[in-house]
Structure 1
Amino acid sequence: MELRHLRYFEAVAIEMNFSRAAERLHIAQPPLSRQIQQLEEALGAQLLDRKARPMQLTPAGRFFLEQTVQVLGRLAEVGEATRRIAQGQRAWFGIGFVPSTLYGLLPELIRRFRADHPEVEVSLSELTTVQQADALKAGRIDVGFGRLPLGDPDIQAETVLEEAVVAALPARHALLRHERLSLALLAEEPLVLYPARPRPSYADQVLQMFRGHGLAPRVAMEANELQTAIGLVAAGLGVALVPESVRRLHRDDVDYRPVAEAGVVSPVIMNFRRGDRSALLGHFKELVSSRG
């Protein structure tokens, strides 16, 4: 599957007519039809119901169109930003993050950095900590915020803070009568774990919190997203251990309690390329150091 396949499919899906789509793309109709067939073969899915009158998208086609529009839109944004940078109009600074850091210090840091550097194109990428290492070395981001130590000699890491971990429970759960909850009590409850993949991740940190105290939690559900995990807690499918800043995600059907044991924390770790002395990174690190 190549980029042209996405552009061709978008045109056909918009026009719902191969002839008009071919005119729109300034190509002949037979090659366009072959390109769409190649795309369907590559995906192993039929995207168009050609027997319908008028032609229609299949359910798979509707999903693929939604994703195609997003991908092509993002590529257009990247292209425009690249042109501005090449013309000297704007510098560029990439920030990677795991989702839970958006409930804590990161939004304020981004606001302050953008206020200080309005001329800079700031790019934000949601990435796991492990993905951030690859993105840093490839130059796709300049700094990353994760929760796992990477141990990569090419990446320098600074622990920004040690964030307390709290238990998220469904509203009216029996354990809410306690002001603090021990890991032993929590280990008796079904556990909602996130992210399910890729690993290693925060999920492994949570499991180690229990194992470090000789406990074996019962994992009832796994979710890929933090908000999904909180939703499963709200539905009564289990409890979850989350960074304390997640409490800012206010929900009437979820409540939180501190963990009784000392030292049950999840670090926020700032990662950047070792030896990177760029002025923008330097200023960003100063903002992190001076956060109040």
Structure 2
Amino acid sequence: MTIDIRQLRYFLAVAAERSFTQGARRLNMAQAPLSKRIQELEEELSVQLFDREKRPITLTPAGHLLREEAIRVVRGLDQLQATMRRFIAAERPRFVIGLVPSTLYARLPEIIARYRAEAGDLDIALAEMDSIEQVAALKDGRIDVGFDRIIVDDPLVVHMLLREEPLIVALPSGHALLAGGAEVALADIASLPLIVYPGAPRPSYADLTLSFFQERDLMPPNIVEVRELQTALVMVASGAGACIIPESVQRLARSDIGFAPIKEMITAPFLLRRRAGAMPENLQRLVRLYD
């Protein structure tokens, strides 16, 4: 008697869906070959696994027994494969990069792609986390480097300025302030509801945004705090207000949002965050890509 793991997966799909048609759709295959493979399995075991006279089809007693054992076998094989993947990955040093979402629109994806190509000896992983989480993860050794927009004071963490990125304003397409493609002053933006992100935890990029207005004794009439950049942009598109974003974010090119330069030419830092002390060679290799 020879049963392969694929037959068991086919059987479990049909058993879960209680339908050959739905099982085939779940497996992304045609129904006819699926039915043939189940029939071959039944012939191999010399039992009938499904009562095909009922709708939806049901498992026979033998089918119920096979289902219990098949789940155990398939789950065990999946765990074995996962264990082997972890073992193979562990053979290479792991290098984890923490990042805040807004950094993904700058040069970071390009830099990480180049780093993957050049550092083939490393198992490189990405972890999205906010500023406070990055600092904690660095000190705990859960990440090797972080990319962010704000400085979090901590004696065990060092910040390196990679570049200053111009900030622009995002407004609903067709907004009067976008007419003529002119620069928009902070005073004009302050007359609108201002959408800032992330609302928590603080400090965050939201505080940096608000500081530009506070330094000029300006304060928007309504400040709306949201968790993520994408949420802020959706709210802008819906006409809920304006949002100040890094220039690189306009690569999203949404038709329902317009972008304009800010007259005061404000910028946000693009920072590399690392543990204090000597810089490891793996991190030096990453930093050199920004030169």
Q: With the length of structure 2 as denominator, give the TM-score of the two structures.
A: 0.70
- 2:124 aligns with one of 118, 122, 125: 122
**Higher mean C-alpha deviation, range 116-125 or range 275-284:** 275-284
Distance 2:215 2:245 in 1: 17
| CA spacing shift, 1:23–1:125, aligned 2, 3 Å | same
Distance 1:144 1:80 in 2: 29
Distance 2:206 2:152 in 1: 15
Distance 1:143 1:247 in 2: 26
Following superposition, the deviation at residue 195 of structure 1 comes to 1.1
Distance 1:98 1:136 in 2: 14
Distance 1:81 1:226 in 2: 34
Following superposition, the deviation at residue 15 of structure 1 comes to 6.7
Counterpart for residue 109 of structure 2: 107
Distance 2:274 2:86 in 1: 22
Please list the CA deviations of residues 167-186 of structure 1 after superposition, one character each: whole Å capped at 9, or x if unmatched.
00000001112511111110
Question: After TM superposition, where is structure 1 displaced by more than 6 Å over at least 4 residues in a row?
Answer: 19-26
- 1:228 aligns with one of 211, 226, 231: 231
Give ranges in structure 1 of 5+ residues lacking alignment: 1-13, 27-72
Please list the CA deviations of residues 220-267 of structure 1 after superposition, one character each: whole Å capped at 9, or x if unmatched.
5322111111111011111100011111111111111111114x1111
- 1:165 aligns with one of 160, 164, 167: 167
Quick check: 1:193–1:219 contact (8 Å CA) kept in 2?
no
| CA spacing shift, 1:239–1:286, aligned 2, 3 Å | same
Equivalent residue runs for 1:54-133 within 5 Å: 82-86=86-90, 89-133=91-135
Quick check: 1:167–1:241 contact (8 Å CA) kept in 2?
yes
Please list the CA deviations of residues 195-224 of structure 1 after superposition, one character each: whole Å capped at 9, or x if unmatched.
122221101111111101101113353221
Give ranges in structure 2 of 5+ residues lacking alignment: 1-14, 18-63, 73-77
- 1:240 aligns with one of 218, 240, 243: 243
Following superposition, the deviation at residue 274 of structure 1 comes to 1.3
Please list the CA deviations of residues 70-111 of structure 1 after superposition, one character each: whole Å capped at 9, or x if unmatched.
xxx9xx96x65642244xx32211101111111001011101
Counterpart for residue 204 of structure 1: 207
Following superposition, the deviation at residue 281 of structure 1 comes to 1.1
* Counterpart residue type for residue 179 of structure 2: R
* Counterpart residue type for residue 108 of structure 1: E
Please list the CA deviations of residues 28-51 of structure 1 after superposition, one character each: whole Å capped at 9, or x if unmatched.
xxxxxxxxxxxxxxxxxxxxxxxx
Q: Secondary structure at the match of 1:199?
A: coil
| CA spacing shift, 1:81–1:276, aligned 2, 3 Å | farther
Distance 2:84 2:275 in 1: 26
Quick check: 1:81–1:121 contact (8 Å CA) kept in 2?
no
Please list the CA deviations of residues 115-146 of structure 1 after superposition, one character each: whole Å capped at 9, or x if unmatched.
10223211100111221111111111111001
Equivalent residue runs for 1:209-220 within 5 Å: 209-220=212-223
Counterpart for residue 40 of structure 1: none
Q: Secondary structure at the match of 2:163?
A: strand
Q: With the length of structure 1 as denominator, give the TM-score of the two structures.
A: 0.70
* Counterpart residue type for residue 245 of structure 1: S
Q: Secondary structure at the match of 2:203?
A: coil
| CA spacing shift, 1:245–1:80, aligned 2, 3 Å | farther
Distance 1:135 1:80 in 2: 26
| CA spacing shift, 1:126–1:81, aligned 2, 3 Å | farther
Equivalent residue runs for 1:130-279 within 5 Å: 130-177=132-179, 179-262=182-265, 264-279=266-281
Distance 1:129 1:24 in 2: 45
| CA spacing shift, 1:80–1:248, aligned 2, 3 Å | farther
* Counterpart residue type for residue 238 of structure 2: A
Whose radius of gyration is greater, 1 or 2?
2
